[in-house]
Amino acid sequence: MSPTPRPDPGPLAPGADPFHEPRRDDCPWCGSRQLRTRVRAPEGKRRTPGTFVFDECRDCSHAFQNPRPTPDGLLLRHHQHPTQAHIRSNLAGRLRRRHHRVAARAMLPYPEPESWLDVGTGHGYFPEAAREVHPYTSFDGLDPTPRVERALAAGRIEEAHEGLLTDPAIVARLRARYDVVSMFHHLEHTADPREELRAARAALRPGGHLLVEVPDPARPFGTLPVGGRWPWKQSERPRPLHLMPLRNLLAELESLGYEVLTTRACAPLPPRAHRIIARRATQPSAPSAPSVPSGPSGP
């Protein structure tokens, strides 16, 4: 489907950085002002200009890119991300494919899904692998780039949604349609992971399942630079906007009305990751925690 048009931001103020928002001085997760810089590294030639800075909250341990890229900066990063055309041909690609099948099998103990939405699907390689495990499930894909249309053309998904899950038009279109929503190394790249989880809940049918994999912030090898240098080639990995401690993520899921069923460590490749399976409860179990504005300019 066509991406939802965004309003024209208009001309930039002289000297404004079109790719980064103003730096914020509070934690986007808990609002604390007790921040420390965890990593500072120069941006590469193919990245948006400036310096990459990752701050960490001393109170809740949430870590985040600060300043955060603007929506245009994010889109540029998505387009710079590699095409994954090599996914079958090299060792990393084969390992990832095997990992996709293992992740799909993690849903076998639960009722067979009729409909499954893979968020951040890219070329649709996860649905392609997962279909071997769930042959009667209909897989749809959502991605901010036109890659999702190519996934559709290649027959890896049945419906393509180009855009952001948090876009109100997409939320309205997908509301309560899916038995499973999956996000593999997607949440940490979103501007507001809380909003993303809330939108995923809206896309789930009551009793539907959320399958999430996110990097372990304690072992972010490959996700953050080491000693100011990136361990991977500049073009090979998109950078996270957030690294969420597992306890923060689980508490958030419960406050949003999910019942957390399993968590386990998994790591096809660095970085080490957590896999979480949660069920959409019929009603939220507790009132949602007050949300901290997602950016310096508010929600």
Q: Which lies closer to Zn ion via its Cβ, residue 30 or residue 266?
A: 30
Smallest separation, CB 296 to Zn ion (Å)? 15
Q: Which lies closer to Zn ion via its Cβ, residue 117 or residue 243?
A: 243
Smallest separation, CB 109 to Zn ion (Å)? 34
User: Tokens 């998904």 correspond to what residue?
Assistant: 157
54 binds Zn ion (CB under 5 A): no
Options 3, 17, 26, 32; binder of Zn ion; rule CB under 5 A: 32
Smallest separation, CB 292 to Zn ion (Å)? 8
Q: Which lies closer to Zn ion via its Cβ, residue 54 or residue 184?
A: 54
Question: How many residues belong to the site for Zn ion (CB under 5 A)?
Answer: 8
244 binds Zn ion (CB under 5 A): no
- Interaction with Zn ion in 91-130: which residues (CB under 5 A)? none
29 binds Zn ion (CB under 5 A): yes
203 vs 198: CA distance, rounded Å:
9
Options 1, 17, 30, 43; binder of Zn ion; rule CB under 5 A: 30
In sequence order, the β-bridge partners of residue 87 are none
Q: Which lies closer to Zn ion via its Cβ, residue 29 or residue 52?
A: 29
Options 39, 57, 107, 157; binder of Zn ion; rule CB under 5 A: 57
x-or-dash string of contact with Zn ion, 60-79, rule CB under 5 A: x-x-----------------
Instruction: Check: CB of residue 270 under 8 Å from CB of residue 215.
Output: no
Instruction: Check: CB of residue 174 under 8 Å from CB of residue 4.
Output: no
Of the candidate spans 14-22, 24-32, 192-200, 284-292, the one that interacts with Zn ion by CB under 5 A turns out to be 24-32
Judged by the rule CB under 5 A, the positions of this chain that interact with Zn ion are 27, 29-30, 32, 57, 59-60, 62
